[in-house]
Each structure stands twice: as structure tokens, then as C-alpha cells.
């Protein structure tokens, strides 16, 4: 496989994450671990760990944090050749706060960040044209007007070159209002081939109630496949022929819920690249999402292919 031609291209902001070494309000935390946090780059890492290739387009600051992000993602196999280092704006920062074993809060310091300054000029159409899938989320257009224009331009490039477009709404109400999300994401949805929302996101965006109506509405808007996430229950998968429930996996202990949706997307797209059925793709996605819950950090719990297969088939790996 030629790593210079990523199968999946994604774009968006990745931040330096500071994760506390204990539970409770941040004001009482003294020690933090420095990590990497970004929805789109999480998906890229997940794909690379499963043996696929992925490229990430963004901006980072011309600073030590920006260099750290590039070093880490490059080390995970992600193609970062189309990331710009910006000497006028800083790399974004994020803090996690573990209030309990079941509640994780986040605080962003990303206003005016390098990634929020992305423009359509940061896109290389030839680079995008060689991929098979463009994966985008609803986070990027929420960052700034120029980021929304960048997403629009990327979609148009993908359509010109017949890439499949995957979209995870990933609604962040700390970045914009529900009304803004409905307006902008409402323009994105009809242009996407594969849509991967949570049930609550679909209901918020569409004004629908329940799985069936939400799925039907997204298919009516033009999607070829809808994968509706329903938490521990798994997901509902639908195309224009049928709809069915795909059961989830019990992760056991939940260490950190953040990043599970990105793992889900990575698993689903890996299945698509492998020409698997929609049911198989959804099963892989459920397994990836469950495995991500077991480890603290945005992508640290993402498995390689052997670990994924062992988890799905409940095989015990011999370690001694």
C-alpha cells in the first residue's frame, strides 16, 4: 500500500490535551499528562492502526505544542504533509476534568487558534482527489467562518473527484448554538454519502423523534447509508433497502468516554475500505467504540487489527 496516497482524508483542529492525574474540580488538580486531542485526527489514527492510510489537513501554531502534535501524529502513521505551521496564531489547548468515573468535562482554549484560521487555500485539490473517502465533522465549521468555507470547499473538491463523503455531526454546543448547528449542518447533510450521528444529535438537528423517523429523514436528504449510534445498545444501520439493529459490545470498565465516537467512525470507514457489508462495518464500529472507552485519552485505547479481532471474537491473547 502506497502511504503517499492516503485512502481517507480528513480535516479539522487537533489540540494539546492536558489530562489530570486525578478526579475532581480542576482547581484542585496539580499534575497533568500532555496528550493529543482532535476528532478528525483520532479517526485518522484509528484507521492507521487497522492497517489503512489516512491524511490530516489542518493548521497548528509554529510553537512547541504544534511540533508536539505533528510528532505524535506522524508517529502514529498519519500523513501530516498538508498541515501548515502558522507563526501568527497558537496551537489550541484543551483540559479534561474527571468529576467522577462517569462524568468527563472539557474546557477549550481554542479561540483564535491556528486551526480556526484555516481557509480554502490550505486545501490541495490534487491531494484530495487521490483519496477514496473524505471524512468531516460538525466541529470544524463551528470554529470560524473561514473554517466553514474550508469544509465547503473540501466537499466540492471531493464531489468533483467522486470521493465518498463521510460525516459525523459531532455537535459541540460549547462552540456554537443549536440553531447555528442546525443551519450549517443542514447544508452539509444533503451532500454526504455516509452519515454517523448519535440519536440525540439526529433529533436535535432534524426535529425528529426516535430512530426510524431520524433515519428515514437522513435517507430522504440523500444519504446512501446512515449509521445511528445508540450508546451501549450499539447502532442502527440503514441504506435505501433495509434498516436493522447492530448490537454493541460491553467494554467492561469505562475509563473515559471521550473519543468513542471517533473510534466508531474509524472502524466503520475501515470496513467500507475493505468492501464489507454495512452490517459488518457497523459491527467493527461498535467494537472500536467500546474498546476506546477502556483507556483514558482520545486515541490511546484504539486497537490494532489483532487486538480488534481478539475483542470481537472474545479470544484471550496469550501474554506470558
Q: Which residues are catalytic?
A: 262
Grid cell of 203 as nine digits: 433529533
DSSP string, 226-253: EEEE-GGGEEEEE-SS-EEEEE----SS
Rounded Cα distance between 115 and 84, Å, is 9
Q: Is 39 left (phi over 0), alpha (psi -120 to 50) or beta?
A: alpha
* All residues at 6 or more sequence positions from 239 whose CB lies less than 8 Å from its CB, including other chains: 219, 224, 225, 226, 278
By three-state DSSP, how is residue 79 classified?
A: strand
Residues 317 and 299: their CA atoms lie apart, in Å, by 21
Name 121's Cβ contacts closer than 8 Å, sequence gap at least 6. none
Q: Which phi-psi region, left, alpha or beta, contains residue 98 (left: φ > 0; alpha: ψ -120 to 50)?
A: beta
Strand partners, 234: 247
**Whether 10 contacts 139, CB under 8 Å:** no
Q: What would the grid cell of residue 102 be? A: 462517569
DSSP 311: H
Cβ neighbours of residue 10 closer than 8 Å, sequence gap 6 or more:
40, 41, 43, 44, 54, 55, 56, 57, 134, 135, 136
Amino acid at each position: 500500500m502506497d502511504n503517499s496516497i492516503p485512502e481517507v482524508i480528513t480535516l479539522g483542529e487537533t489540540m494539546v490535551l492536558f489530562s489530570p492525574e486525578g478526579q475532581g474540580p480542576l482547581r484542585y488538580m496539580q499534575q497533568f499528562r500532555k496528550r493529543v486531542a482532535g476528532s478528525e485526527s483520532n479517526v485518522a489514527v484509528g484507521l492507521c492502526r487497522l492497517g489503512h492510510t489516512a491524511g490530516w489537513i489542518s493548521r497548528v501554531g509554529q510553537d512547541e505544542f504544534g511540533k508536539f502534535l505533528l510528532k505524535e501524529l506522524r508517529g502514529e502513521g498519519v500523513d501530516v504533509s498538508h498541515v501548515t505551521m502558522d507563526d501568527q496564531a497558537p496551537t489550541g489547548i484543551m483540559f479534561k476534568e474527571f468529576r467522577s468515573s462517569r462524568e468527563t468535562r472539557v474546557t477549550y482554549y481554542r479561540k483564535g487558534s491556528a486551526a480556526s484560521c484555516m481557509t480554502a487555500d490550505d486545501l490541495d485539490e490534487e491531494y484530495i482527489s487521490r483519496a477514496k473517502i473524505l471524512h468531516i465533522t460538525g466541529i470544524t465549521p463551528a470554529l470560524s467562518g473561514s473554517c466553514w468555507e474550508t469544509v465547503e470547499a473540501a466537499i466540492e473538491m471531493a464531489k468533483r473527484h467522486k470521493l465518498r463523503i463521510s460525516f459525523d455531526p459531532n455537535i459541540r454546543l460549547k462552540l456554537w448554538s443549536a440553531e447555528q448547528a442546525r443551519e450549517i449542518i443542514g447544508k452539509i447533510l444533503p451532500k454526504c454519502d455516509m452519515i454517523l450521528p448519535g440519536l440525540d444529535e439526529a433529533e436535535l438537528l432534524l426535529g425528529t423523534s426516535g430512530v426510524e423517523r431520524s433515519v428515514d429523514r437522513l435517507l430522504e436528504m440523500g444519504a446512501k447509508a446512515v449509521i445511528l449510534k445508540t450508546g451501549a445498545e450499539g447502532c442502527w444501520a440503514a441504506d435505501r433497502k433495509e434498516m436493522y439493529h447492530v448490537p454493541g459490545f460491553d467494554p467492561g470498565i469505562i475509563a473515559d468516554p471521550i473519543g468513542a465516537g471517533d473510534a466508531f467512525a474509524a472502524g466503520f470507514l475501515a470496513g467500507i475500505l475493505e468492501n464489507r457489508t454495512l452490517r459488518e462495518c457497523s459491527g467493527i464500529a461498535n467494537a472500536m467504540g467500546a474498546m476506546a472507552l477502556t483507556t483514558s485519552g482520545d486515541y490511546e485505547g484504539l486497537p490494532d487489527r489483532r487486538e480488534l479481532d481478539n475483542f470481537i471474537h472474545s479470544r484471550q491473547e496469550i501474554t506470558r
